[in-house]
Amino acid sequence: MNSKVAKHIQDIEKLEDIKNVSKVLEELENKGLSQASIASGYIRGYLTNTTPSDIDILYFSKTHFLRAREILKDAIKKYNLEYLNWDIEGIWSVQIAAPYINSVQENLLLYYVNSIDTVYLVSDGKLHDPTGYGFEDSLAKTLRMNDFRTNGYKFYKDLDIVYLCLEGCRRIAKYGWHPTKESEDIIRFGLSLWKNLSLKDKDYIYTKRIQKKYLKTEIPIAKRIYDQYGWGFIFDKYL
């Protein structure tokens, strides 16, 4: 890691909100929610100097998510952190949702979109970069997709792959990231799987990954970028 990247990460770890969020993670672990971590949108915002999203927490234990919600609420209240944008309803257990996965980090490497989204915060206030590229890619705005074609491919449904491909497109169109050649190939790989999706799956893509993520005014520009990878048709019903 070069000095510029190292300083960037150190500066993030010194932020008051990051320190406070880490206290909550520590409290969750003390209550049995092992490996409590935060990745993706919230951490991505700090890494790429954009607005962080809400705070989604994942953990590794057999504690049910309903109990986990109550533990999280108590921790937030304990430290008077209600002002932060917590996704209390979204806290979830890797061990329950995917029992074939052995850790939070393994889940991130399998199911999160790219090297930047895979960077995660743990209870000691430190950021971890499991791919070894996320820290540097965040400053360069490089899209380096996690390669589902070789990374445990058997674990993915067609919907998972389509989702990952479209999220790759979104990071190019919405955030201006620069894809590696391998990432462009990965994004195109999922095109042939669209026809396999059920109407329910396609509706999920339309409502959750398009309508929720784009304003109408953003769609024409986004479509031109998605077209470069064969996915532009996803916007046709909105034009």
Condensed to tens digits (0 to 9), the pLDDT of residues 150-199 reads 877 778 999 999 999 999 999 999 999 999 999 999 999 999 999 999 99
pLDDT level of residue 104 (50, 70, 90 thresholds): very high
Last residue of some domain: 93, 123, 140?
140
* Alpha carbons 79 and 25: distance in angstroms, whole number: 11
Residue finishing a domain among 140, 169, 192: 140
Distances (CA, A) of 151 to 22, 142, 145, 161: 29, 20, 11, 12
Domain match, 60 and 12 both: yes
Residue 135: domain span: 1-140
- What does the alpha-carbon distance between residue 239 and residue 61 come to, in Å, rounded to a whole number? 45
- 188 and 93 belong to one structural domain: no
CATH number for 122: 3.30.460.10
Stretch among 23-32, 137-146, 150-159 having the lowest mean pLDDT: 150-159
Same domain assignment for residues 1 and 103: yes
Distance, CA of 185 to CA of 217 (rounded, Å): 28
Three-state secondary structure readout of 141-164:
CEECECCCCCCCHHHCCHHHHHHH
The pLDDT, as a whole number, for residue 154 is: 77
- Check residue 103 and give its pLDDT: 97
pLDDT score recorded for residue 14: 98
Mean pLDDT of the chain: 95
Q: Looking at the structure, do residues 33 and 133 belong to the same domain, yes or no? A: yes
Q: Are residues 27 and 88 in the same domain?
A: yes
pLDDT of residue 153: 72
Per-residue buried b or exposed e for 185-223, using 16+ beta carbons within 10 Å of the residue's own CB? ebbebbeebbeebeeebeeebeeebbeeebeeeebeebb
pLDDT classification of 1: cutoffs 50, 70, 90: confident
d(Cα 63, Cα 91) in Å, to the nearest integer?
A: 11
Tell me: do 101 and 130 sit in the same domain.
yes
- Scanning the structure block, which residue is given the tokens 């406070």? 20
Rounded Cα distance between 196 and 178, Å, is 29
Same domain for 22 and 135? yes
Residue 208 shares a structural domain with residue 225 = yes
Percentage of the chain lying above the pLDDT 90 cut: 94
10 burial (CB, 10 Å; 0-12 / 13-18 / 19+) is: exposed
Q: How many CB atoms lie within 10 A of CB 32?
A: 14
| Domain closes at, from 97, 113, 140 | 140
Nearest to 169 by CA among 146, 195, 143: 143
Same domain, 202 and 221: yes
pLDDT of residue 149: 87
- Band (32; pLDDT cuts 50, 70, 90): very high
Are 153 and 136 members of one domain?
Answer: no
Q: Are residues 92 and 176 in the same domain?
A: no
Residues 207, 169 share a domain:
yes
pTM recorded for the entire structure: 0.94
Tally of structural domains, the chain: 2
